[in-house]
Amino acid sequence: MTRPTKTSRHWKTRALLLSLVLAMSCSSSGLPDRLLDTSRPPAVASGVLPDLRVGTYNIYFRTCELSQTGTVLRHMDADVVALQEVSKECEPCFAKDRELVREYPYRHFAPGLGLLSRFPLRNVRYEHSRRGINGFLFAEIDHPKRGRVQIANLHLDPLRLWSARDLARLPFQLRSQREIQRDELSQVFAQLKPGLPTILTGDFNRVTQDAVNKIKERGFTDSFAAVTRNPDNVSTLHFSPLGIKLGRRIDYVFHDRHFQTVQSRVFPGKPSDHDALVSGVAWSASVSPATPRLNAEPAPAATAGQPQPGE
């Protein structure tokens, strides 16, 4: 291993300090992990059982061995799982895990993203972000009781803290990230089919509330917040600048008015720096389900591309 120079140590220290300041100043969930309750039992709305369990899990882009990651996925026990930071090298591993193949016979991979599903996937399509480094994976599932549901797996643009040049541009990044994520959400909503029950999930790389508020303004519900007291005190991303364990909530499951949140839970996600999130939703009694459209073929277990190392 190359011995660090004085300059490299300087920038490393500066990066850690900036990460600390950023976390503490930009998000209430940028709190020391010892103050965060990351092992809560599932929050449950009493008297209602979920019709659909949707999970999101950023598995970390350097993950190539799925023994621990597979254990997390089995603990999640979701009907549909949205994955982020799936490397091209990692994709074949999902086909080698026989238990996961039995549990999730329908799967699709695109650059950096994946969907695992117990239900057939229809009309699967991927779009790279027009302004960011990540992208979005869209699909529709055939729910056996209530018909078609569209799901969008989002990996919104992160801050770059990977080099001295990135750090020097941090003030500009803080401004531009809001604009980029706003444009990314416009790109996502342009792909959604009006009137179809919809779930948005993924890694939102939240620094400010702008993206979350934009989604709420369109009538979507933050499922974890719907059933959890002080939701931002529960982190899903963990990092340790200067040895201080910090975290913030940046992974979400949103649903539209067709659903109500029944339960939501964060699961420990090691070896990733992210924890996994699973939300159980039930159909809203006040909204009629969509009529299924059966003119599309289920998605094959497709693969493509290489992810960018966004958070």
Which amino acid makes up residue 191? Q
Distances (CA, A) of 60 to 64, 203, 251: 9, 11, 13
Q: Show me where the domains of the chain are located.
A: 6-283
pLDDT along the chain (311 residues), means of 10: 43 47 44 41 66 96 80 96 93 88 96 96 97 97 92 94 81 88 97 97 95 97 97 93 87 97 96 96 76 47 46 54
Q: Say whether pTM exceeds 0.85.
A: no
Phi and psi at 106, nearest 5°, equal: -110, 125
Q: What is the DSSP string of 140-162?
A: EEEETTTEEEEEEEEEPPPPP-S
Helices (H) and strands (E) in the chain, counts: 8, 16
pLDDT at 61: 78
pLDDT at 42: 55
Other CB atoms within a 10 A radius of the CB of residue 242 amount to 10
Domain spanning 6-283: which CATH class is it, in words?
A: alpha beta
pLDDT at 245: 87
Alpha helices for the chain (secondary structure H): 6-26, 67-76, 91-96, 98-103, 164-168, 170-191, 210-217, 223-227
pLDDT at 132: 95
pLDDT at 43: 57
